[in-house]
Structure 1
Amino acid sequence: MRFEHLVEINDPGNPALEPLTPEQLWQGLVLRAESPELFVLGLDSAEIVNRGDGWVERVLHFGPASVRDRVVFEPRHAVRYETAATHEHAGGTLSMIIETPTPVALLVRFIYETTMPSVDDSGDDRYAEIVKSAYHEADLDTVRKIREIAHTGRLG
């Protein structure tokens, strides 16, 4: 299954929405990878088990299930999560790409590519649509959390 959508970060037409800088957004996306417990609902604990130039490997613990992934950073542009399929997890990739189509516009493109089929054996796509909706809500929550953290001054 592939699912892609955009989340608008800055809306010049909404003065009540405090704008983020591209640097604050980048730092928030890095924080999501480095401290996922701040962002991921249901996550009991997380540990970074390996680190290199531009990447980290993590183990995420959800109750008795553990998910191992690799997060690759393309500085100030993209964060890509790579997860192998296991008994507990469908596996796949999630890319978060910062886009600045105009000087005042700031967006994040979320791209999910998973091993989960888009339809079941009967041709029913309802389960995939539920998963896509959950991904979308999680991404909106990520942006909300980045805004909250930026408001405290933690992201510069």
Structure 2
Amino acid sequence: MNFEHLIQINDLSNPLVETLSRDQLWAGLCHRIEDATPFLPGLERCTIVERHADHLLRRLDFGAAVIHDRVTQAEQQWVCFEVLPSEHHAGGSLTITIEEPEPEVLFLRFAYTTTFAAAANPEEQAYIEYIKSAYQQSDLDCVRVIRTLAAEGTLQ
């Protein structure tokens, strides 16, 4: 299954929504790379296992399950989390891209690639829709955490 959606970060017409800079948004994504704990409910520990010039490897400890992923990035543009297949996870990826169609009008595009096959019946389709909804909620939570970090002055 491939699935993607956009979340608007800045709405210049709404003064009630705090505007984030591209630098703050990128710093928030980098924070998620270094310590995913505040971004992923149930994650007990995020450990950087290896650092390389073009990627890093992490161990994500959820208690009952341990997941390993590879993280790549293009500075100020995108970050990709690729879950390595294991007995606990079939693998997949999430790429988060910063989009700026106009100055200061920022969006995050969340693009998922998973091993889920196309639904063959209504029950499978309902399950896939549930998964998509969970992804969207998780991504809204990601933005909420970035906004909280920015408000605390952590993302300078």
Alpha carbons 1:69, 1:84 under 8 Å: kept: yes
Alpha carbons 1:71, 1:79 under 8 Å: kept: yes
Write the distance in 2 (CA, Å) between the matches of 1:45 and 1:104: 34
Matched length: 155
SS of the residue corresponding to residue 136 of structure 2 reads helix
Q: What pairs with 1:1-156 in structure 2 (closer than 5 Å)?
A: 1-120=1-120, 122=121, 124-156=124-156
Moved over 4 A (4+): none
- Which segments of 5 or more consecutive residues in structure 1 lack a partner in the other structure? none
Residue type of the alignment partner of 1:5 = H
SS of the residue corresponding to residue 148 of structure 1 reads helix
Alpha carbons 2:70, 2:84 under 8 Å: kept: no
Identity %: 43
Write the distance in 2 (CA, Å) between the matches of 1:131 and 1:90: 15
- Which segments of 5 or more consecutive residues in structure 2 lack a partner in the other structure? none
Write the distance in 2 (CA, Å) between the matches of 1:65 and 1:135: 19
Q: How far has the Cα of 1:104 moved from its partner?
A: 2.9
SS of the residue corresponding to residue 38 of structure 1 reads coil
TM-score, normalised by the number of residues in structure 2: 0.95
Q: Which moved more, 1:83-92 or 1:18-27?
A: 83-92
Q: Which moved more, 1:88-97 or 1:129-138?
A: 88-97
